């Protein structure tokens, strides 16, 4: 499945100019220029975070399994348990596979909520309660 591969955004190797002459790219991407893999944050019993070292020694937290979300209510943030994934704007199969992405609608203990952050990149799930 190509959607789970490495993010490699490049122009084609051969590009036609206005005159019809083919332009050739000078080089391929270096390893440090290639993006990472898609982190499919799945619903689980508790939160499982993977630490990944990046350039310069920085450490990123990538969330692999999630059980709880920081839910924004009128009273402030509350930590609530996620029961299920109802709908996902990215792919309709993500709801069936219980994969969380930004914009996913989830069922929590307090009701339906929408995920407001990119959980696979930030290490936690923030959500806003729907009315």
- DSSP of 111-124: EEEEE-S-HHHHSS
CA quadruple 87, 96, 73, 50: dihedral sign: negative
- Do 16 and 66 lie in one domain? The reply is no
**Consecutive H or E run containing 120:** helix 119-122
Q: Can you tell me the mean pLDDT for 76-95?
A: 95
3-class DSSP assignment, residue 75: coil
The token duo for 100 is 């969380």
The answer, yes or no, to whether residue 85 has pLDDT greater than 80, is yes
Task: State which residues form the domain around 25.
Answer: 2-33
Residue 48 is part of a domain; what is its CATH number?
3.10.290.70
Q: What Cα–Cα distance (Å) separates residue 122 from each residue in 1, 7, 79, 119? A: 24, 18, 16, 5
The answer, yes or no, to whether residue 21 has pLDDT greater than 90, is no
pTM: 0.77
Mean residue pLDDT across the chain: 86
């Amino acid at each position: 499945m190509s959607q789970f591969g490495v993010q490699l955004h490049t122009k084609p190797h051969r590009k036609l100019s206005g005159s019809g002459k083919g332009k050739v790219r000078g080089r391929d991407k270096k390893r440090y220029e290639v993006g990472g893999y898609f982190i499919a944050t799945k619903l689980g019993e508790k939160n499982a975070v993977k630490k990944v070292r990046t350039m310069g020694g920085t450490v990123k937290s990538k969330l692999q399994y999630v059980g709880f979300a920081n839910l924004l209510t009128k009273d402030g943030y509350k930590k609530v348990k996620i029961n299920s994934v109802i709908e996902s704007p990215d792919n309709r199969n993500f709801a069936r596979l219980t994969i969380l992405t930004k914009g996913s609608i989830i069922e929590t203990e307090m009701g339906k909520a929408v995920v407001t952050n990119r959980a696979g990149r930030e290490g936690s799930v923030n959500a806003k309660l729907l009315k």
